[in-house]
Amino acid sequence: MMGPAHSLSGAAAWLGVGAAAAAAGHTMPWPVLVVGALICAGAALAPDLDHKSATISRAFGPVSKALCEIVDKLSYAVYKATRSAGDPRRTGGHRTLTHTWLWAVLVGGGCSAAAIFGGRWAVLAILFVHLVLAVEGLLWRAARVSSDVLVWLLGATSAWILAGVLDQPGNGAGWLFDAPGQEYMWLGLPIVLGALVHDIGDALTVSGCPILWPIPIGRKRWYPLGPPKFMRFRAGSWVEMKVLMPAFMVLGGVGGAAALNYI
């Protein structure tokens, strides 16, 4: 799928988690719901770090472009080193390493560890990166015609304000993990979810997605998981733009209302 659909699906997924938590009698503090949805929307773009033309490659100027080049080469190297007899030959790393459950867990776990051991500046950095990506994905039309600096300033300002809100007693810094020293440990959860939602979205397209790597399926270690061929669509097609994106908006709205006990 394309960047905007990925971000919308990520936000909708976290709002759905909020709705499930409310139904189970463990309503999220509203700052956790809002910040988590934004982080998940941003994280849903991150697996495309292996794609030099993806939305994320433009998000941070030369830095993100260079990072995409590095991740593409790394992913391709891992693919070549681990491919089995049934896996096809490739010329690049797109939809390989960064499109797996293992990558999602490692990145999410790494961000949780950084939030715990890195202190406030690490938390602000995690929020900044994912809020910039959320702006690029959710407000793609405005982001593409505005200055990168303005988007970065919006991300930095929002990160500072939202961290301040979360720090208030009862607002969610210690949500879910409430032992001393575990503040913001939950930040890794929307990051893992966003990456997995991205992978599931890509699995619906023609090429499929090797979500289960390194678990082999048949003769393939990089099995392109997905529904039957007739149910798949091309990225950017009318199915994505006219059906899935409106559906994500509706589901996100319903999930958010349910998470806040409005329905």
Nearest-angstrom CA–CA distance, 249 and 181:
36
Mean pLDDT in the chain? 92
Nearest Cα neighbor of 203 from 172, 195, 113, 88 is 195
| Residue with the larger pLDDT of the pair 40 and 119 | 40
How many residues would you count in the chain? 263
* CB-based contacts of 163, cutoff 8 Å, min separation 6: 120, 123, 124, 127
pLDDT-based confidence at residue 182 (cuts at 50, 70, 90) = confident
> How many percent of the chain have pLDDT more than 90?
73
Question: Six-digit token pair at 120?
Answer: 């406030």
pLDDT-based confidence at residue 84 (cuts at 50, 70, 90) = very high
Residue-wise pLDDT for 91-150, tens only, equals 888 999 999 999 999 999 999 999 999 999 999 999 999 999 999 999 877 777 677 889
Residue-wise pLDDT for 192-226, tens only, equals 999 999 999 999 999 899 999 999 998 999 999 99
- Report the pLDDT value the prediction gives residue 33, as an integer from 0 to 100: 96
Q: What's phi and psi for 61, nearest 5 deg?
A: 60, -140
Helix/strand/coil for 217: strand
CB 210 within 8 A of CB 223: yes
Q: What's phi and psi for 204, nearest 5 deg?
A: -80, -15
What is the mean pLDDT of the segment spanning 17-32?
93
| pTM, two decimal places | 0.94
Nearest Cα neighbor of 115 from 74, 176, 69, 62 is 176
* pLDDT of 25 over the 90 cut: no
CB 33 within 8 A of CB 259: yes
Q: What's phi and psi for 216, nearest 5 deg?
A: -75, 145
Nearest-angstrom CA–CA distance, 255 and 3:
21
pLDDT-based confidence at residue 178 (cuts at 50, 70, 90) = confident
Dihedral of alpha carbons 24, 26, 32, 33, sign? positive
pLDDT-based confidence at residue 72 (cuts at 50, 70, 90) = very high
Longest dimension (CA), the chain: 56
CB 86 within 8 A of CB 217: no
- Report the pLDDT value the prediction gives residue 129, as an integer from 0 to 100: 96
Helix/strand/coil for 236: coil
